[in-house]
Amino acid sequence: MKPRTEKRMKIKIKVIFIIVLPMFLMSMSACSENSVTAKGKLLFGKTFTNARTRMLDKLTSDEEKMNAEYAEKIATAVNSGDRGALKALFSDKSISSIRNLDDQIERLFSYYKSGFEEYELASGGERMSMERGKCVERERSFWICIPSKAQYSSRISVCYRDVYEADPGKVGLVTLKVNGNDAEHSLRFSVGYEWNSYYDDARDMAGRLVEAYGAGDFSSLRELFSRDFDAAALEAIRQGMEKFEGEPLNGKAFTASGKEYYDGNYDIKVDWYSDERINGNAVLGEKVHVNVWNIITDKKKKYKMSFEMQRFPNLEGSGSSGFAITKFDFYAE
């Protein structure tokens, strides 16, 4: 009996040693890399390449690696002052459709004048749409966290799409949202816009309305309304146009000496929500409710409007994508 007992004890010792040794080695490896990679930290300068390689080796998921690659490209562009490289990260849709994208990018470079030497990544999340087991749309987000410095500390929320089968032009960077603090104040601003269904239609209609008001052009305004819009209401709108003062700044601002600049505070703001009438899989009609505010003119006047636009088979209009305005309000803020 005694020899058997000794044999069993030897087997137990071997098994325990085999299990514990890899765990010990893994914990030692994790600790040795923690200062550089566990938090997704990248260092710029001489150690950048090695730090990046170690981090990408450490990351296991496709999402983490793609987040890290986007962060590196953004940081490299900002640190080198390469506005074109940053702009190229945005989707073709954003580049072709956002009128003041260059101004927005300039705002970011103005804030990070001296770049940022190091940062950490914080995961945000992802959302996706599936059809028959296949991903047809995917959007991801994460944070670039810049450590506190004497001058400022900040976080940049990054949102991008890597899959969008219905419109490949929407693949790429969507928004950079800066949440910053400096010695004097905190500030928030965005570069890029979230592109959603009806977003283009709502902004285009709002832009045409504001342009007509600024020019005092009632004829152009009338074309945007449904053909059966109440005549008395239209007359009231015409009279109201005469009280509109100045020309809309549309995001532009000027110093006391007349020099033009951009800080995001003069952008026209638009939000919307939509309704659809559906019978089975067929869309019978569409209705979009739009609110527009922060319409600032060179006469230092501020206005806002709200309207409803519809697109039905039996309702024609020359507005955005065939939409016609069916309800409208305009007033001073």
For the chain, domain boundaries: 48-192, 199-332
- For residue 108, the tally of other CB atoms under 10 A from its CB is 19
- The stretches of 112-198 forming alpha helices (DSSP H) are none
- Residue 13: per-residue pLDDT: 36
Q: Which fold has domain 199-332?
A: Nuclear Transport Factor 2; Chain: A, (3.10.450)
Amino acid present at 66: M
- Residue 329: per-residue pLDDT: 95
Cα 212 from Cα 217, distance rounded (Å):
5
CATH number of 48-192: 3.10.450.50
Write out residues in the chain with pLDDT < 50, as ranges: 1-56, 150-151, 183-185, 278-283, 314-320
- Cα-Cα-Cα-Cα torsion 73, 75, 77, 80, nearest 10 degrees, comes to -140
Cα 280 from Cα 285, distance rounded (Å):
13
- Residue 294: per-residue pLDDT: 92
H or E element at residue 66: helix 62-80
69-91 residues labelled b (16+ CB within 10 A) or e (exposed)? ebbbbbbebbeeeeeeebbebbb
H or E element at residue 56: helix 48-58
Taking CA 115 as the corner, what is the angle to CA 114 and CA 120, rounded to the nearest 5 degrees?
145
The answer to whether the 48-192 and 199-332 domains have the same CATH topology is yes
Give the C-alpha distances (Å, rounded to integers) separating 270 from 162, 244, 267.
26, 19, 9
- Residue 277: per-residue pLDDT: 59
* Residue 99: strand, helix, or coil: coil
- Residue 224: per-residue pLDDT: 93
Has this prediction a pTM greater than 0.75? Answer: no
- Cα-Cα-Cα-Cα torsion 67, 69, 70, 73, nearest 10 degrees, comes to 160
Residue pointed to by tokens 């928004």: 175
- Residue 284: per-residue pLDDT: 55
Q: Mind listing the pLDDT tens digit for each residue in 77-123?
A: 999 999 999 999 999 988 887 777 888 899 899 888 888 878 889 88
